[in-house]
Structure 1
Amino acid sequence: MLLGFLLLVGFVLLSRQEYQSPADAELNKRVRYLERVIREGAGAGTDLAGINSQNPEWALFSLSFTAYALASRAQQQPALRPEAARYVAQAVAQALQPPIRSAFEPMAATASPIDTTGSVLYLGHLNLMLGCLRQLDPATRYSGLHDTLSGALYRRYGRALGGCLESYAGQRWVPDNTVALASLALHSQLTGSPYHRAARRWVARARQHYLDPKTGVLASQVDAQGQPQEEARGSMVGWSIWFLARFDPEFARQQYQRYQQHFSTNLGVLRLYRERAGAYTTSAGDLDSGPLLLGYSMPANAFAFADAVALHDQRNAQRLHRLIALGRRSVESPTELRYAVRFLDLPVSPLAEALLLYAECPVVR
């Protein structure tokens, strides 16, 4: 009787705990690892080259999310600003080089100008990286590129019949567009440009056309007319909410609440998120979801954690952090710290570490 009561009290206390950001010493060791990845670049034998060979998007994301995390860390610790600016500039330079860029611009050469009509996936992340750099270093030599690219994206959104730009030919992925729109909002914040209006118009269209009628959650992909092409998916909506929070926290919070309602299972001390609403299948999944166990996917839960931190839902963030901690192991040296997947041999760093570091270093508003 007493043991059962104590277990119940422990369960209740754990379920009510709130997430606390890691200590600066831990975060700084994780930053050191990602800074080394940037220094080494994408040449043969590097961590970035290894992940680029698996999926070029992952190499780009490793750079971009490192840049976002460094910019956020510098907001939280202003003394880190010069160091962060230096490494974000190097990350931008890496993203502009053919090993990364050629996956999105096949004919790109080192000195060739950016194709501002190309993939919103690439251009959105590049532009948000440029904005983070400009935030850290207003005198950056990339200011002109930031202005040019932001203006081009703004004009393209003004002409987009369905409201979304292409990630690849014929494919308009909603999460990729949220990154580009966040980059335009940041440009407006830094320069006073009117480009944030594109995000406001996009949200109005999304509320009317992009939402699944059953769940009210954003579709993953839309067609040229802005009609949903693929159902809402946890790995997509979680990502979208993360970047929506940068330019429309109210809409992000509404999506987050619906995501919880229709995609998650609350176990008190843990919360699990599914890839598809109401689907509990176990399968190999696909490139975006990874393996599915009873419908739950690692990306859906990782992005839900980022959403919870960004939207200050610390209790849910703690439940998700416990889940992430169960599935990861530390790889530590005297100067660096990174994480690997527990139980499975998945070479996910530096992408996983960049994503988690940014999730744990939310943008200061």
Structure 2
Amino acid sequence: MKFATKIIISCLLAMVVCTSIYLNAALYYKPEIKTEEQDTINYDLLLQLRYLKGAIASGEAEAMQKLYPEGYIFMHALTALAWHDFARQCDPSLALYEEAHTEISKSCSAITDDLAKSTFDPYLQLPYGAFYTGWSNFLLGKKLGLESMSKRNIEEVNLFKQQCESIAHALDSSVSPYLESYYKAAWPADMLMCIASLGLHDQLYTPRYTATIETWLKKVKTNLDVNGLIPHAADAVTGKPNEDARGSSQSLMLVFLYEIDPDFARQQFELYKRCFLGSCLGLPGIREYCNGTAGSGDIDSGPVIFGMGAAATLVGMRTMATYHDHSNANALECGIEAFGIPIKNDHEKKYIFGTLPIADAFIAWAHAGLPRKTNVENDVSWRNYFHIYSILIVTVAMLLLIIVWSYKKSFKKSNERSNLS
């Protein structure tokens, strides 16, 4: 075997060993908790948000729109909602709180501009559809909730209330619990955002949508999929499932359903875990398709690797935390930290080398929903299986390395014996 070939093979095997060591160490990730301006904050989350702040300022939201039909909205909404959760950790009198509020305000403005609306149809039963109205209105309501009554912009208050009224009016005249996001196309996850904004209205102002929400829930409960879950896609006219539940939409819906109907949400969560919580090489992940079924990745799911959905797993971290399953939330967080290839410095933190900022937005929002300190774990055994797999892989790599470098010596001895005979 030529010396150059040995070097190349050795380098590849060394990469396998080093990668295994890195991944196993990364599974013990703990976010950096730091005191800034007298507040104890998740500093890793702040660095993520600082990266997203710069990414949005440099036009990454517009770039994501070219890759994903709702990329612009998601980029702004998820980043702003993560800022919202971060702001709740801060004293309102401090600069970090003001920074968070400023970024939320920028994203609220961006979501109401012509570019944000250009993808959506203003002539649907609910103008601009359930996705646009749900996300834009929910974000606006969250912004108003951070502000005292005297500091709320009256135009924003009126817009929020008008959009809530539009949602309720459209629902009252619809047989289906799922209003269109696009012409004749409805996704329950989009509708959850609309209902969540109605619930938010009733927290901020005099309640008026209790009956609308209760009627919506009754319709939803009579239009579940074969597993008893809210479907991924539904008929916009009848509300009947068009596609059974999937991990990406379930992870997202359950975060918001918990605030709407906690009892129903917990029932759905248990079914969700039974159908979608899985593992790959011993590491927990969220399947995109229910256990026992298979499918490929698409624009909703992102990559599906060994059955585990990228979007489902990223958002699933927050889902688990929402339902106080901190062991699985921590496991998903550590897995994302290991395989997300984070790059961190004093100014920012980004994942996948910063090549897909919308993924960073999902991760930041998911991280923002975790407890500030995640050092309490109910179960750490999930790491053991991955450690065992890794030991086997490293052992094989080391044996191959020994074989490669002993090849010439063994070959030479074999030739000497042949010559003697």
- What SS does the aligned partner of 1:85 have? helix
Partner residue of 1:222 out of 234, 254, 257: 234
| Equivalent residue letter for 1:135 | G
Using the size of structure 1 for normalisation, the TM-score is 0.82
Q: Does 1:50 align with 2:69?
A: no
* In 2: Cα distance, 1:268 partner to 1:312 partner: 25
1:348 aligns with 2:356: yes
Deviation at 1:145, TM superposition (A): 0.8
1:218 Cα deviation (Å)?
1.4
Aligned-pair CA distance for 1:255: 1.3
Q: Is the 8 A contact 1:67 1:132 kept in 2?
A: no
- Give CA deviations for 1:268-288 in whole Å, capped at 9, x if unaligned: 9622222112346574x2211
Alignment partners' CA distance in 1, 2:238 and 2:28: 43
Q: Match of 2:161, as an amino acid? A: D
Residue 364 of structure 2 is aligned with which of 330, 334, 357?
A: 357
* 2:203 alignment partner, SS class: helix
Residues 95 and 286 of structure 1: CA distance in aligned 2, closer, same or farther (over 3 Å)? same
Aligned to 2:138: 128
Distance 1:185 1:102, change over 3 A: same
Determine the structure 2 residue equivalent to 1:242: 255
* Cα shift readout 1:278-327 (whole Å, capped 9, x = no counterpart): 346574x2211233233221112122212001111101112212321232
Amino acid across the alignment from 1:99: L
Alignment of 1:53-132 (within 5 A): 53-79=66-92, 80-105=96-121, 117-132=127-142
SS of 1:278's partner is coil
2:376 corresponding residue in structure 1: none
Shift of the 146–115 alpha-carbon distance from structure 1 to 2, 3 Å rule, reads farther
Q: RMSD over aligned Cα, in angstroms?
A: 2.8
Q: SS at the partner of 2:352?
A: strand
Distance 1:126 1:314 in 2: 30
Q: Which is worse superposed, 323-332 or 94-103?
A: 323-332
Shift of 1:265: 2.3
In structure 2, the residue matched to 1:6 is: none
**Following superposition of structure 1 onto structure 2, how do residues 147-166 of structure 1 map, counting pairs within 5 Å?**
147-166=161-180
Uncovered stretches (5+) of structure 2, i.e. residues with no partner: 1-23, 34-41, 372-421
* Distance change in 2, residues 1:199/1:348 (3 Å): farther
Q: Does structure 1 retain, via aligned residues, the 8 Å contact 2:315–2:363?
A: no
Q: 1:281 to 1:105 in 2, by over 3 A?
A: closer
Shift of 1:174: 0.5
Rg larger for: 2
Other-structure match for 1:173 = 187
Count of residue correspondences: 330
Alignment equivalent of 2:51, drawn from 33, 39, 42: 33
Q: Which moved more, 1:25-34 or 1:118-127?
A: 25-34
Distance 1:363 1:25, change over 3 A: closer
In structure 1, stretches of 5+ residues that fail to align are 1-13, 108-113
By how many angstroms is 1:19 displaced? 9.4
> Matched residues in 2 for 1:156 and 1:106: separation?
13
Query: 1:168 is aligned with what amino acid?
Result: Y
- TM superposition shift of 1:243: 1.6
- Indicate the residue corresponding to 1:274 in structure 2: 287
* Superposed CA offset, 1:65-113 (max 9, x none): 1121111111222344333222211101111122222111489xxxxxx
Which residue pairs with 1:305 in the alignment? 317
Identity of aligned residues (%): 26
Secondary structure at the counterpart of residue 324 of structure 2: coil
CA contact (8 A) 1:309 1:360 kept: no
Q: Distance in 2 between matches of 1:312 and 1:22?
A: 21
Q: Which residue matches 1:256?
A: 269
Change (3 A) 1:268 1:182: farther
Relative to the length of structure 2, the TM-score reads: 0.72
